[in-house]
Amino acid sequence: MTVRSIVELQRRLHETGRIRHGDKELIPQTADDKKAGRQRSRPVKLDRFRFTSASRRAIDTVAGLYGGTPEQWADAPAGEQWQVRSEADEIDVVVIVNDMSFMQAYELWSAGGCKRRCDGVQDEISGGPCLCKEDDRECKLTTRLSVMLAKVPGIGLWRIESHGFNAAAELAGSIDMAQILAGVVGRAVLPAKLRLEHKAVKRPKKGKPDEIVTQRFVVPVLDFDVDMAALAVGISPIATPVLGDGAVLSPAALSSGLTPVAPAAAPTIAQQVAEVDSPEPRPARANSAPPLPRTGLQPRPADQRGPGPTVETSVAEARAIVDARREAAEAEAKELDGPPFGDGEPQSPPPPSRRRPPRPRETAAAPAVTPPTPTPGPADEEVGDGRPTPAWCADLHMRAQTLELNADQVHACVSYITQGRTESTRDLKPREARQVSDLLTSIESDGVRVEQTSDGWEVVFP
C-alpha cells in the first residue's frame, strides 16, 4: 500500500494520558483569602506514580494493574478527566525509538502559552538566537518522555515531564542506549521499566556558602532488562519480553527481532506440476476480451514438426522489403528532380511542384510577384564518384516533404549550398549532401526560411 502524506508535516501519535510524580495540596486560608474568596495551593512531590487521562477505561485498567482508586479529576485543566494515585513506583512500559518519544528544551511559559522554546542556541518559536544568559537562565529546563503502558490497550502515548537536571541528563542517556539496543535487536519497539528513585545531594546554601544543605528529590529513571555480556558477544541483550502472559522467547528469536513461526509444509513436485497443468480458473472481468479458442492440436516434438522459416529465408524477405522501399524512394526522387546531367546535355527543367504555392504577402507597397521558373544549373564535370546514392536523394526529399517544402524551395537550398553550381540533389557530392541535410535541420529548428523574392527563391537566415 502506497501512503501519500504531506512532506513537511511532522507525524505523531495521540496522547492517552500523563504519568505524574507530583500533585497539588491546598494551603489553609488566611483572613485575606477568606475575604477575597480564594483558595491557594502549592505543589508537592510524590513517591508513587499518579496517572491522569481523559479515558475512564484507561484509568480503570491502570488502577487494576498498579492499585489505587479511580476518581474524577476535579481541577483538570481541560474537559472531563480522570486520575488514579497508584501504589507503584515502578511500571512496565514500551519505548518507541524515534523522534516521538523524547524531547528536551529550555521553555518559558506564561498565561498566554509558551513564549520561548530553545535548545540553548536557537529559539524554535521566534527563529532567533536564545535570549537567556548561560549562567542565569530565565527559561526552565524541560524534559518530556512519551511511552506506552504495557498491558494497557491502545496505541496512545503516556507522557511524563520533568524539570530537573538529573532527570534531563539520565533520561537522555537512556534514550541513547535505547537507540543502540534497537540497532542490535533489529526493532524500534523495546520493553523497559520506568521507576521513581529517591536521591539526595549536598550543596552550599544560596547566599551562605559556608552552610551546607541537603536537597532531596525524586527522579524518574528509564531502565531496560538487558544482559550486557550477551550484547558483547552478539546475542540479543533483552532477556524477556514485557508483553505476553509470562511466555519467554528463546534467545535466537529475540536476537532476530521476530516471533518464531512454525514452518509451512512445502508442496511436492507432483502437486506443483498438477497446479500448472490444471490451474484454478480466475473470474473474468466485465470488460475483458473473450478467451482464445483452442486449436485442438497436440504438442509435437521437434523432430516431428514440418519445415518452418529459417534464418536465411527471413534475411531474404527483409532484404526484399528494403529493396522495394529503396526503389519507391528513388522513383519519387527522380520524379521531383528529373534525370541527372548527361555528358554535355543541358538539364531539363524540374516538373512543376505538386504542392500549393505559398500565399503572397498582402502589403500595399509590394506588387504581386510571379514565381520565376528555376534555371537549370550547368553540367558538373566532377560528378562521377562524388555523386550520392539515390537513397540519399530520397532521404533529402522525404525530409523536405516533412517540412512542407516544395520542389522549388528544395532546389533553392541545393543552389545555396553548391553556390549556384546545381539545383538537383542527384548532382550533390557527399559533403554537399550532408550540408543540405544540416540546412534542413536549421529550417526545422533554428528559424531559417526559404522565401520567394523578385529574383526567385532564396534562403533567409534570422
Contact 451, 360 (CB under 8 A): no
pLDDT(63) > 90: yes
CA distance 23 to 134: 30
CA dist 128 and 105 (Å) reads: 15
3-state SS class at 130: coil
Q: What is the dihedral of CA 103, 104, 110, 111, to 10 degrees?
A: 20
- Euclidean distance between CA atoms 292 and 281, whole angstroms: 15
Using a 10 angstrom Cβ sphere, with 0-12 exposed, 13-18 middle and 19 or more buried, the burial of residue 314 is exposed
Instruction: For the chain, give the percent of residues with pLDDT over 70.
Output: 77
Q: Is 204 helix (H, G, I), strand (E, B) or coil?
A: strand
pLDDT beyond 80 at 153: yes
What is the rounded average pLDDT for all residues in the chain? 77
Contact criterion met (CB below 8 Å) for 396 and 443: no
Among the ranges given (118-132, 329-343, 360-374), the one the predictor scored with the smallest mean pLDDT: 360-374
347 pLDDT exceeds 70? no
pTM of the predicted protein model: 0.50
| Residue 389: per-residue pLDDT | 53
The whole-number pLDDT of residue 375 equals: 40
- Helix 407-418 and helix 390-402, axial crossing angle in degrees, nearest 10: 120
Confirm if 146 and 15 have CB atoms less than 8 A apart: yes
Which residue type sits at 270? A
Cβ within 8 Å of residue 264, ≥6 positions away: none
- Can you state the percent helix, strand and coil of the chain, rounding each to 5? 30, 25, 45
Sign of CA dihedral 210, 216, 217, 223: positive
Residue 378: its pLDDT value, please? 35
The per-residue pLDDT for 262 is 60
Q: Is 47 helix (H, G, I), strand (E, B) or coil?
A: strand
Q: What average pLDDT does the segment 279-303 reach? A: 79
Residues 220/196, Cβ–Cβ less than 8 Å = yes
- Rank 191-200, 219-228, 284-293 by mean pLDDT and report only the highest: 191-200
Q: How far apart are CA 152 and CA 69, in angstroms?
A: 17
Indicate if the pLDDT at residue 360 is higher than 60. Answer: no
Q: Where are the domains of the chain?
A: 15-28+38-224, 321-460
Report helix, strand or coil for 95: strand
Q: How confident is residue 51, by pLDDT bands cut at 50, 70 and 90? A: very high
CA–CA dist 220, 161 (Å, integer):
9
Alpha-carbon distance of 172 to 170, in angstroms, equals: 5
Q: Give the E-state strand segments of 121-176 in sequence order.
A: 140-149, 157-162
